[in-house]
Structure 1
Amino acid sequence: MARALFGTDGVRGEANSFPMTAEIAMKLGAAVGRYFRRDKNEHRVVIGKDTRLSGYMLENALTAGFTSTGMNVFLLGPVPTPAVGYLTRSMRADVGVMISASHNHANDNGIKFFGPDGFKLSDEAETEIESIMNRGITLSRPENIGRAKRLDDALGRYVEYAKTTFPRQRRLDGLRIVLDCANGAAYRAAPTVLWELGAEVIPVGVSPNGRNINAECGSTHPHQAAQKVRETRADLGICLDGDADRLILLDETGKEADGDQIMGLIATRWAREGRLSGNALVATVMSNLGLERHLNDLDIGLERTNVGDRYVVERMRKNGHNLGGEQSGHIVMTDYGTTGDGLIAALQFMGAMVETGQKASDLTRVFTPVPQKLKNVRYAPGKDPLAEDCVQSAIAKGEKTLGSSGRLLIRKSGTEPLIRVMGEAEDQGLLDEVISGISDTIAGVS
């Protein structure tokens, strides 16, 4: 059965348009509630959200759907996505829900589901949930309708847990840190954690108003934080996205370090300490060839997956690895959590700074990246530019031009109507020419 609602990371779209309507959210909540009902007296679901205005609407609609099938709902309020995974397990809930469109614009929203183990649902589970929606949902009898309540200490529980992942007997005293929370879900949690560990925190993006999440701030727009790093002579900049499951770092000069560099550092340290399970890192096809070469030089394996942190996690669980992630900044450490966690990944990096005494610039330049270029080409809904002969010919020509000295990866985004055109090659000029040619061809039929 083809899936109409779920993409690569839950259900996502523009708020108040299909599928991000209150009606669909209510039906989805009821279907998920029916799917996770177990033969026991109490059924629990925890629901978190980021700071988008539409979160109120979707939170209420999901609550109505869940309670209609007998689920008791615990509302967490604005918390990072990884907090939902953590609290789903901690509270022995049947299902966890995060209402967020991650790094997308404030007008978008999304719904992500976590199973009782705290991990995101499989493709098979999501397909069955859609099937339940299509077949019709059996509602509970009046006496079995669920209840809903707010969990007032949800944020505090996650803050205390996050601090336990920092090296014992270590503090962040003396470190000046610019922290950009993207006006999103971590705007209270992240500054609290760093301050309680002793850092001097210079906050950016901590004044959400429902409409400014990810707006010229956060991991996708780190320029504001970079300027603040330089102005305040900070030791480090930390840029989270709207739901705080991804991270971009800035060294003391304001230079960016992406997920590949962060994973490279953690993998190198963990391998040296004997902590890297299976002596391998799991990353996606987007990760830079320079990272692969660096790991190979250290006899550390690199396993690549399709794009999407859920596919990284699936491979990690299948093969017993404890470190994986994406170039975009999702860093998954299953020793600490079930999904990408920007704050806890940042704590691992700061732990390395404290233990080694090295500057951020020394630790963020783990390998020399091979020149890489990514262009996003927007297309009209309902169209499939990749099916056009002229596009396929342009791709074939580009592959021939790069030959064995580079590679191309052309794919549809799983969350937006975009074709992502990515390439790598030692010759930057040749790479620019190839990527521009393919992108222009796609734009011409889009």
Structure 2
Amino acid sequence: MAFDGLMVSVSGVRGRVGDALTPEVIATFAAAFGAWASRTGNRRVVVGRDSRVSGPMFTRIVHGALESVGCTVIDIGMVPTPTIQLAVEHHHAAGGLGITASHNPIEWNALKFIGPSGLFLSAAEGAEMRSLLERGIPRATWDQLGSIEQDDDAINRHIAQVLALPWLDVPGIRARRFRVALDCCHGAGSVIMPALLTELGCEVYAINMEADGRFHRPPEPVAENLGELEALVRGSNADIGFATDPDVDRLALVLDDGKAPGEDYTLAFAARTVLRHRPGPVVTNLSTSKVVSDVAHELGVPFHFASVGEVNVAIAMRDAGATIGGEGNGGVILPELHLGRDAPVGAALMLQVMLEEGRPLSALVADRPRYVIVKDKLDRPDAPLDTVYAALRAAFPDASADTQDGLRLDWPDRWVHLRPSGTEPIVRVIAEAPTDAAARHLISQAREPLDALVSL
């Protein structure tokens, strides 16, 4: 079955609302997921959404689609994606559906598919679920239709689980009364971040807290989008600034000096403090800065790469018995809580870092080796990228190559990674080096064979 214009990947199924992503598409995929999830006899499915304008409409459609295949829907309302994952575990549900396009622009929405373990579906599980689109979705008869239940306590449980983490010194953090600037970009962070920070004794200065999905800026929490938060940190004399994406699985920082250091530092700082309490392996995706691997190497713990995509990192962490991991986009995964990116956990760990260090985070950044990461993208060509990868490996025989997800070439102090995006119809080219000029030179070199392929 063809669904032109949709992005179907381990991140779910995404599209522009009213274009590729229609009510019919949502209903079809939701019903297929419900039928797949309930194949073992457990028919409970958790449903939550972020703040996007199309969210309430798609929620009603998802409810009906799941009822049509006999599922008991546990609706938890507007919540972060990690809250949905935790609710699946709490209810021992057959799975969960998140209605969210994460960091994508305002015109997008999506379905994220969560398995009974609270992890997103693997590539194999996703393919098995989607096979129902071709084979036919088994519908319930009138006497076997599903029902809807409401769970209004998912946010409170999430906060309680964060506060219960064994290496989080809650009394110590409360005593410090940290000044925190917060930008939720009109997303679902508004329903959890202020409450969590208040529980941790913080003095919160917040902007863009209306959870209406009307993003007034690009919602991805990358440094170039955080000018308002940088100004708020400076104006409020805050100890730190936090920015979340619309579904609250990514956390970006603005330091006490009013500058955003880049999303990779969230995971680097989190790893620094967690590994002190429990040394163990670290896993990140291939597009993550060296600031994270440097921490692992300095502390003498194993470090592993995984393919981009939260589920890929989570599975690799599970297999490695990792203590902490995540993605360099600000996505911290702490298995002690659950195997999913979690901005509230990231925020709590940043406060713990500041408590333990007793000095500003800007001073910690100043102590680290200096890297500059540059991210580029261009339209995805119709032809396979294999010829591009081969050309780059031939051009850089001195680099170590990792081909598990596109191509990453590594040198001792720099790297470049080229891969097709799983969430947008583009190719991402990311490079890191000690200077901006060196990183941009790597980007230019990587783009040469790619531009040639696009021009064909």
Same fold (TM over 0.5): yes
C-alpha distance 392-145 of structure 1, shift in aligned 2 (>3 A):
same
CA distance in 1, matches of 2:237, 2:273: 27
Alignment of 1:339-354 (within 5 A): 339-354=340-355
CA distance in 2, matches of 1:403, 1:27: 43
C-alpha distance 34-408 of structure 1, shift in aligned 2 (>3 A):
same
Matched residue of 2:206: which SS?
strand
Match in the other structure for 2:403? none
Contact 1:46–1:96 (CA under 8 A) maintained in structure 2: yes
Match in the other structure for 1:191? 194
Q: Which runs of 5+ in 1 are unaligned?
A: none
CA distance in 2, matches of 1:308, 1:248: 18
Deviation at 1:292, TM superposition (A): 2.7
Deviation at 1:392, TM superposition (A): 6.5
Alignment of 1:65-214 (within 5 A): 65-165=65-165, 166-172=168-174, 173-212=176-215
C-alpha distance 388-228 of structure 1, shift in aligned 2 (>3 A):
same
CA distance in 2, matches of 1:161, 1:316: 20
Q: Tell me the amino acid that sits aligned with residue 386 of structure 1.
A: L
CA distance in 1, matches of 2:78, 2:162: 16
Match in the other structure for 2:13? 11
Deviation at 1:195, TM superposition (A): 1.5
Deviation at 1:45, TM superposition (A): 1.1
Q: 1:411 aligns with which of 414, 419, 438?
A: 419
Match in the other structure for 1:288? 289
Deviation at 1:129, TM superposition (A): 0.8
Contact 1:100–1:112 (CA under 8 A) maintained in structure 2: yes
CA distance in 1, matches of 2:360, 2:382: 48
The answer to whether 1:51 aligns with 2:51 is yes
Deviation at 1:114, TM superposition (A): 1.3
CA distance in 1, matches of 2:205, 2:141: 52
Moved more, 103-112 or 298-307: 298-307
Contact 1:81–1:243 (CA under 8 A) maintained in structure 2: yes
Matched residue of 1:334: which SS?
coil
Q: Tell me the amino acid that sits aligned with residue 200 of structure 2.
A: L
C-alpha distance 103-127 of structure 1, shift in aligned 2 (>3 A):
same
Q: Tell me the amino acid that sits aligned with residue 246 of structure 1.
A: R
Matched residue of 2:423: which SS?
coil
CA distance in 2, matches of 1:90, 1:403: 41
Q: Which runs of 5+ in 2 are unaligned?
A: 400-408
CA distance in 2, matches of 1:216, 1:314: 27
Moved more, 262-271 or 198-207: 262-271
Deviation at 1:57, TM superposition (A): 2.4
Match in the other structure for 1:233? 237
CA distance in 2, matches of 1:357, 1:434: 38
C-alpha distance 266-215 of structure 1, shift in aligned 2 (>3 A):
closer
C-alpha distance 216-33 of structure 1, shift in aligned 2 (>3 A):
closer
C-alpha distance 384-348 of structure 1, shift in aligned 2 (>3 A):
same
The answer to whether 1:423 aligns with 2:431 is yes
Contact 1:105–1:213 (CA under 8 A) maintained in structure 2: no
Deviation at 1:395, TM superposition (A): 7.6
C-alpha distance 291-195 of structure 1, shift in aligned 2 (>3 A):
closer
CA distance in 1, matches of 2:392, 2:303: 30
CA distance in 2, matches of 1:102, 1:313: 17
C-alpha distance 403-73 of structure 1, shift in aligned 2 (>3 A):
closer
Q: Tell me the amino acid that sits aligned with residue 378 of structure 2.
A: V
Deviation at 1:126, TM superposition (A): 0.6
Match in the other structure for 1:262? 266
CA distance in 1, matches of 2:134, 2:305: 35
Q: Tell me the amino acid that sits aligned with residue 56 of structure 1.
A: P
Contact 1:45–1:96 (CA under 8 A) maintained in structure 2: yes
Q: Tell me the amino acid that sits aligned with residue 154 of structure 1.
A: A
C-alpha distance 213-53 of structure 1, shift in aligned 2 (>3 A):
farther
* TM-score w.r.t. length of structure 1: 0.89
Moved more, 218-227 or 230-239: 218-227
Q: Tell me the amino acid that sits aligned with residue 61 of structure 2.
A: A
* TM-score w.r.t. length of structure 2: 0.87
Deviation at 1:171, TM superposition (A): 3.7
Match in the other structure for 2:385? 386
CA distance in 2, matches of 1:92, 1:213: 38
CA distance in 1, matches of 2:133, 2:367: 48
CA distance in 1, matches of 2:281, 2:291: 16
Matched residue of 2:322: which SS?
coil
CA distance in 1, matches of 2:138, 2:410: 57
CA distances 1:71-105 after superposition (whole Å, capped 9, x unpaired): 01122111001000111111221111111111111
Q: State the identity as a percent.
A: 28
Q: How many correspondences in the alignment?
A: 438
Deviation at 1:387, TM superposition (A): 6.0
Contact 1:33–1:71 (CA under 8 A) maintained in structure 2: yes
Contact 1:181–1:187 (CA under 8 A) maintained in structure 2: yes
Deviation at 1:6, TM superposition (A): 2.9
CA distances 1:388-430 after superposition (whole Å, capped 9, x unpaired): 77x9657854778999564321111111112111223446434
RMSD: 2.9
Contact 1:218–1:242 (CA under 8 A) maintained in structure 2: no
C-alpha distance 244-385 of structure 1, shift in aligned 2 (>3 A):
same
CA distance in 1, matches of 2:291, 2:271: 14
CA distances 1:166-201 after superposition (whole Å, capped 9, x unpaired): 424334352110011121111121111112322111
